[in-house]
C-alpha cells in the first residue's frame, strides 16, 4: 500500500479532519428508528498518534447530544461546537502510540450544510440513506473526516425488522429479536470516511451474475415493484465487472452491492463496495447504463485508490468518466474517441476557467471537470498507445491499492511508461485553463463485445 504525504489540512475544507493522528479502525454500533428518525450510537475508534505527542485532537460530528466520551477508558475534557468534537485526554498520547476513543451520541440525524446542499444522512419517506461526498460523514458518526485517513470498519445497525440494512462490506450476521433485527457488516479494506455507505429501506435482494462461476459476488437491493426494470437496466453489470477487471486489474474488494431507493436522487451515490441509485435511474431501457459503469469504476478509482485531498478530485471523476467511454467502446456503442470528440465540442463552447488539477472548491463538482478529466486520460492514451496505457492503468490500481494519491503521483507514474517526456501534455491538460486540441487518435481497443451477443438480453 502506498503512503503519500498530505497537507496539514485540506485546503478546500480546513475544518474537516485532523492530521495529528490517523484512524486505524472504526466499530460503530447504531440503533435507528425510521419513524421518528432517531439515531443513537456508540463509536469505538482505534487510532495512532502522529510524530508529536497528542495533547488534544478533534473528531468531526454534527449537532448530536453527546452521552459519553472516553480516551483509553478514561474521561477526557471535551467540547462540541460547530461540528467539531475537541478532545483533551487526561494525559497526552505519546508520539506514535496507539489509543482508543469511545463516543456515545444520539439525536435526529440530518444532512450537514454545504455549498451543494445537504450532505450525509438523508431521511427518506420510508427509510434513510447516506450520501456523504465530500464532507457529509459527520452527519451520522464521529470521524476524522479527511479522504486520506482510511480505516477498516465494522458497522452494526439495529432497526425494525420490516427494514433491510445495506452497507458496504461483508454481511457477518443478521439477528432478529422480537420486532428488531441487527445487521453487522465488516469492511476490512481501508476506507475513507465519506465512502462509508448505508441504506435502510424495504428492499428485495437479488443476485447479479452467477456467483457459482467464481466471480465477484454482486447483489441488488430494491423495491419489489422495480424488479422488472432493474433486471434489464443492470443486466450488463456483470459484463462491466469482467471488462473492468481486464482493463484495471482485480476488483479491489470482496463484494459489490447496488441499492435502488424508492425515491428520486439527483445523481447516484458512490460508497466503498456499494453504489446507490434513485428510482429515476431505473427505466427498463438502460437509460442510465453509463452511470452504472461510472459508479462501478469508482471502486477502483476513488475508493481503492483514493485522493490525498480534494484538490485532486479529477483522479476520481475523470477516471470514472473515461470508464464510461471504455464500456461504450467495448459493448458495441460509440468508441472512446467518438465520445471524447463529443465532450471536446461541448467543452469548447463553455467558459475556459477550470484548472483540472486544482479546480477550487466552487468547481470541484462542475460537469466540465468530469469531461475534461476523461479527455485528459484520452490524451494520455493516445500518447502511450493502448498496450502501455492499459499496463499503466492496471499498475496504478495495483501499486496504490488502499492508498491515497495526488496528481503529481499520477504524472510520475505515467512517465514510467513512455520514453518521451509528457510535460507539455500534463501542463496543458492538468494545469492550464484553455482547452487543448482534441487528442489525435492512436491505436484503439478492438470494438468487440465484452460478452457473447445476446447473452445480456437473456439474463
Q: Give the span between the Cα atoms of 428 and 438, in whole angstroms.
A: 12
- Spatial contact of 339 and 448, defined as CB atoms under 8 Å apart: no
Nearest Cα to 182, choosing from 204, 163, 203, 201? Answer: 163
Looking at the 3D structure of the chain, how many domains does it have?
Answer: 3
CATH number, domain containing residue 353: 1.10.390.10
Average pLDDT on 418-438 reads 96
Confidence of residue 6 (pLDDT cuts 50, 70, 90): very low
Q: What is the pLDDT of residues 252-263, one digit of tens each?
A: 999 999 999 999
Element of type H or E holding 315 = helix 314-330
Asked if the model's pLDDT at residue 445 lies above 50, the reply is: no
Least-confidence region, from 201-215, 297-311, 438-452: 438-452
Determine whether 58 is exposed, middle or buried from the number of CB atoms within 10 Å of its CB (0-12, 13-18, 19+).
buried
- Expressed as residue numbers, the domain containing 85 is 1-123+134-191
401 belongs to a structural domain: yes
Give me the pLDDT at residue 450, please: 36
Give me the pLDDT at residue 167, please: 98
Give me the pLDDT at residue 210, please: 75
Asked if the model's pLDDT at residue 271 lies above 70, the reply is: yes
442 belongs to a structural domain: no
Asked if 27 and 172 sit in the same domain, the reply is yes
Give me the pLDDT at residue 48, please: 98
Q: What is the pLDDT of residues 102-160, one digit of tens each?
A: 999 999 999 999 999 999 999 999 999 999 999 999 999 999 999 999 999 999 999 99
Give me the pLDDT at residue 205, please: 97
- Spatial contact of 203 and 164, defined as CB atoms under 8 Å apart: yes
325 belongs to a structural domain: yes
Asked if 32 and 156 sit in the same domain, the reply is yes
β-strand pairing of 274-277 with 269-271: antiparallel
Give me the pLDDT at residue 5, please: 38
Q: What is the pLDDT of residues 128-144, one digit of tens each?
A: 999 999 999 999 999 99
* Cell 497528542, residue located: 54
Asked if 20 and 154 sit in the same domain, the reply is yes
Question: How far from chain centre, in Å, is Cα 123?
Answer: 20
Of 29 and 215, the one with more pLDDT: 29
Of 215 and 292, the one with more pLDDT: 292
Give me the pLDDT at residue 151, please: 98
Asked if the model's pLDDT at residue 7 lies above 70, the reply is: no
Asked if the model's pLDDT at residue 336 lies above 80, the reply is: yes
Asked if 38 and 149 sit in the same domain, the reply is yes
Q: What is the pLDDT of residues 218-230, one digit of tens each?
A: 999 999 999 999 9
Average pLDDT on 378-394 reads 97
Asked if 20 and 151 sit in the same domain, the reply is yes
Average pLDDT on 319-334 reads 97
Among residues 259, 274, 299, the one where a domain terminates is 299
456 belongs to a structural domain: no
Give me the pLDDT at residue 451, please: 35
Nearest Cα to 242, choosing from 444, 456, 410? Answer: 456
Asked if 386 and 277 sit in the same domain, the reply is no
Confidence of residue 212 (pLDDT cuts 50, 70, 90): low
450 belongs to a structural domain: no
Asked if 281 and 360 sit in the same domain, the reply is no
Asked if 94 and 165 sit in the same domain, the reply is yes
Asked if 417 and 268 sit in the same domain, the reply is no
Asked if 70 and 207 sit in the same domain, the reply is no
Give me the pLDDT at residue 209, please: 82
Q: State the Cα angle at 43 between 136 and 99, rounded to 5°.
A: 110
Asked if 77 and 180 sit in the same domain, the reply is yes
Asked if the model's pLDDT at residue 388 lies above 70, the reply is: yes
Average pLDDT on 435-457 reads 52
Asked if 277 and 241 sit in the same domain, the reply is yes
Confidence of residue 442 (pLDDT cuts 50, 70, 90): low
CATH number, domain containing residue 243: 3.30.2010.30
Asked if the model's pLDDT at residue 374 lies above 50, the reply is: yes
Question: How far from chain centre, in Å, is Cα 303?
Answer: 5
441 belongs to a structural domain: no
Among residues 273, 299, 325, the one where a domain terminates is 299
CATH number, domain containing residue 20: 2.60.40.1730
397 belongs to a structural domain: yes
208 belongs to a structural domain: yes
Amino acid at each position: 500500500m502506498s503512503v503519500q504525504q498530505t497537507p496539514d489540512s485540506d485546503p478546500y475544507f480546513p475544518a474537516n479532519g485532523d492530521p495529528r493522528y490517523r484512524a486505524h479502525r472504526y466499530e460503530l454500533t447504531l440503533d435507528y428508528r425510521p419513524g421518528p428518525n432517531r439515531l443513537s450510537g456508540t463509536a469505538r475508534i482505534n487510532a495512532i498518534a502522529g510524530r508529536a505527542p497528542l495533547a488534544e485532537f478533534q473528531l468531526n460530528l454534527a449537532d448530536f447530544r453527546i452521552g459519553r466520551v472516553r480516551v483509553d477508558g478514561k474521561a477526557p475534557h471535551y467540547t462540541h461546537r460547530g461540528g467539531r468534537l475537541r478532545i483533551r485526554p487526561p494525559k497526552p498520547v505519546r508520539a506514535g502510540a496507539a489509543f482508543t476513543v469511545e463516543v456515545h451520541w444520539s439525536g435526529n440525524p440530518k444532512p450537514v450544510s454545504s455549498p451543494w446542499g445537504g450532505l450525509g444522512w438523508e431521511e427518506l419517506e420510508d427509510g434513510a440513506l447516506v450520501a456523504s461526498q465530500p464532507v457529509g460523514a459527520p452527519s451520522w458518526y464521529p470521524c476524522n473526516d479527511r479522504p486520506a485517513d482510511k480505516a477498516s470498519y465494522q458497522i452494526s445497525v439495529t432497526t425494525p425488522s420490516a427494514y433491510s440494512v445495506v452497507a458496504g462490506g461483508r454481511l457477518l450476521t443478521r439477528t432478529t429479536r422480537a420486532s428488531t433485527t441487527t445487521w453487522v457488516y465488516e469492511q476490512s479494506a481501508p476506507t475513507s470516511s465519506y465512502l462509508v455507505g448505508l441504506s435502510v429501506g424495504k428492499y428485495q435482494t437479488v443476485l447479479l451474475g452467477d456467483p457459482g462461476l467464481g466471480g465477484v459476488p454482486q447483489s441488488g437491493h430494491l423495491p419489489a415493484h422495480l424488479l422488472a426494470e432493474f433486471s434489464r437496466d443492470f443486466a450488463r453489470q456483470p459484463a462491466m465487472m469482467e471488462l473492468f477487471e481486464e482493463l484495471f486489474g482485480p476488483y479491489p474488494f470482496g463484494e459489490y452491492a447496488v441499492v435502488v431507493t424508492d425515491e428520486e436522487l439527483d445523481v447516484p451515490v458512490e460508497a466503498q463496495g456499494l453504489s446507490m441509485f434513485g428510482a429515476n435511474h431505473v427505466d427498463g431501457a438502460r437509460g442510465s447504463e453509463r452511470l452504472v459503469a461510472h459508479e462501478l469504476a469508482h471502486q477502483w478509482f476513488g475508493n481503492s485508490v483514493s485522493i490525498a485531498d480534494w484538490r485532486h478530485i479529477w483522479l476520481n471523476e475523470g477516471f470514472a468518466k473515461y470508464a464510461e467511454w471504455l464500456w461504450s467502446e467495448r459493448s458495441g456503442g460509440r468508441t472512446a474517441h467518438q465520445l471524447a470528440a463529443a465532450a471536446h465540442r461541448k467543452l469548447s463552447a463553455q467558459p475556459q476557467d477550470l484548472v483540472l488539477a486544482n479546480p477550487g472548491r466552487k468547481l470541484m463538482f462542475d460537469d466540465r471537470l468530469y469531461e475534461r478529466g476523461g479527455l485528459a486520460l484520452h490524451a494520455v492514451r493516445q500518447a502511450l498507445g493502448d498496450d502501455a496505457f492499459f499496463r499503466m492503468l492496471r499498475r496504478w490500481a495495483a501499486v496504490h491499492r488502499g492508498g491515497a494519491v495526488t496528481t503529481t503521483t499520477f504524472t510520475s507514474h505515467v512517465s514510467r511508461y513512455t520514453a518521451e517526456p509528457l510535460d507539455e501534455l500534463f501542463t496543458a491538460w492538468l494545469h492550464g485553463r484553455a482547452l487543448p486540441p482534441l487528442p489525435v487518435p492512436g491505436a484503439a481497443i478492438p470494438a468487440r463485445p465484452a460478452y457473447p451477443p445476446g447473452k445480456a438480453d437473456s439474463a
